[in-house]
Amino acid sequence: MQNKLKIINDPVHGFIKIPHEILFDVIEHPYFQRLRRISQTGLLNLIFPGATHTRFHHAIGAMHLMFTALETLKQKGVEISPDEEKGAMLAILMHDIGHGPFSHALESMLMDDWHHENLSLLLMNRLNDEFNGELSTAIEMFQGKYHRKFFNQLISSQLDVDRLDYLNRDSFFTGVSEGNINTQRIISMMNVCKEELVIDAKGVYSIENFLTARMFMYWQVYYHKTSALAEFILVKILERAKYLASEGVDLPATENLKYFLHRGKSAATDEDVERFTQLDDNDVIQAMKLWQKSDDFILSYWCQCVIQRNLPKTIISSHPFDENFIDEKIRNTNEFFGIDNGKELVHEITRSLLPYNTEKQPIYLLQKSGEVLRLDESEDQLLSGLIVHKTKRYILTFPRL
């Protein structure tokens, strides 16, 4: 019989144990192995060359942090059964299983606004059938239907193990040290009060550090003007390809990508799901390489931008750009390339971030007295008052002429 209680060596967390056989079985499944071929950070490696890590890395890391968090809570006297532990670890392991190629950018394009969480749930239910109901508790926790709320909060909230892993991991692989947080310290401060996740009050500064680290990572990495541009171009490429396919243009692509380019608007069928689980970043890269030579100027321009990393210019501002300024860029583009649809190549992209939401799932601090306080109400907080406002940036992109 195969030993399924393996140990994985992870560059961020060190050695990761797989304490339940079912976890190993899920990891071995083709649905999960596909995540090895899906980048965690899309095209970020065009800006930060080290950012070539995958969703597979991240899911395993998040599972490890879930295990660590549950061990901490047990030591603090929170009763957690082996079945609950297994369920929570499975839920976080599979939380991204429905991610499409290049993560968020392409979900809506390929699957008509199917969010990856809906797809993850759909795939979890399929796996649950395959594994004879062993994932039922995990699915309840993932959906927030489990009677003990803190399990879902560990999976998805403003302070969950998903964020704890990707911040550290993305910081490690991009080399951006501002995102480096002390996950062990944060996890050691976790507690449960009335079945809700809380933080021991003395951990207040670790939490603030985490929230500001996340804010810096967003503006410095995920929303970096060139990162925003690369993600935007990907969406434009698929939009254009889908439009050309609908006009009857035969674009070379792998069979599964072709299927989605020609797919109309409709609810998901079994074939959709089957084909979606066969798609990964390689299908899209292959297509972009071929489409560089497309007769369609717009499509070939965008594909060359990505494949040759010859990206358009960008200007970033905290205010929207003047209409006349944008029109001038469009005129220049038309003249330079001798085209009349230059407006397809000039765009204003927006990015906004609310670092800490005081309304939706606020973070609670557990006082020595046993009383629970919201983070933004704590007298000890230094920064939380400053990060409750939304910041918005405008990025104008236009060809280099």
Residue 114's pLDDT band (boundaries 50, 70, 90)? low
What CA–CA distance (Å, rounded) separates 347 from 363?
37
pLDDT of residue 198 exceeding 70, the answer is yes
The pLDDT, as a whole number, for residue 380 is: 85
Using alpha carbons, list the distances in angstroms from residue 205 to 135, 370, 379.
Answer: 36, 19, 12
The pLDDT, as a whole number, for residue 378 is: 86
The pLDDT, as a whole number, for residue 270 is: 86
Cβ atoms 169, 188 nearer than 8 A: no
Give 60: exposed, middle or buried? Use CB within 10 Å, 0-12, 13-18, 19+.
Answer: buried
Sign of CA dihedral 63, 64, 67, 73: negative
What CA–CA distance (Å, rounded) separates 10 from 61?
8
Give tens-digit pLDDT for 158-174: 999 999 999 999 999 99
Partners of 395 in the β-ladder: 316, 349
Find the mean pLDDT for residues 337-364: 94
Give tens-digit pLDDT for 215-255: 999 999 999 999 999 999 999 999 999 999 999 999 999 99
Give the pair of three-digit tokens for residue 73: 């809570």
Find the mean pLDDT for residues 135-164: 97
pLDDT of residue 113 exceeding 60, the answer is no
Q: 10 Å Cβ neighbour count for 382?
A: 12
Helix (H) or strand (E) holding 85: helix 82-93
Give tens-digit pLDDT for 7-37: 999 999 999 999 999 999 999 999 999 999 9
Pairing assessment for the beta strands 7-10 and 14-17 based on DSSP bridges? antiparallel
Question: pTM higher than 0.85 for the full model?
Answer: yes
Domains of the chain by start residue, with CATH: 6-222+361-391 (1.10.3210.10)
What CA–CA distance (Å, rounded) separates 231 from 101?
12
- Edge-to-edge strands, sheet with 347-353: 313-317, 391-398, 347-353
Give 57: exposed, middle or buried? Use CB within 10 Å, 0-12, 13-18, 19+.
Answer: buried
Using the CB atoms, write b or e for 116-127: b if 16+ within 10 Å. bbebbbbbbebb
SS3 373: strand
Percent of the chain residues topping a pLDDT of 70: 96
Nearest in space to 140 (alpha carbons), one of 88, 63, 176: 88
The pLDDT, as a whole number, for residue 221 is: 96
pLDDT of residue 117 exceeding 70, the answer is no
Using the CB atoms, write b or e for 229-249: b if 16+ within 10 Å. bbbbbbbbbbbbbbebbeeee
What CA–CA distance (Å, rounded) separates 30 from 19?
21
Give tens-digit pLDDT for 70-86: 999 999 999 999 999 99
Using alpha carbons, list the distances in angstroms from residue 53 to 13, 105, 228, 335.
Answer: 14, 17, 18, 41
Cβ atoms 274, 123 nearer than 8 A: no
Helix 281-291 and helix 297-307: axis angle, to 10°? 120
Residue 207's pLDDT band (boundaries 50, 70, 90)? very high
Residues 6+ apart with CB under 8 A from 295: none
Q: Which amino acid is at 245?
A: A
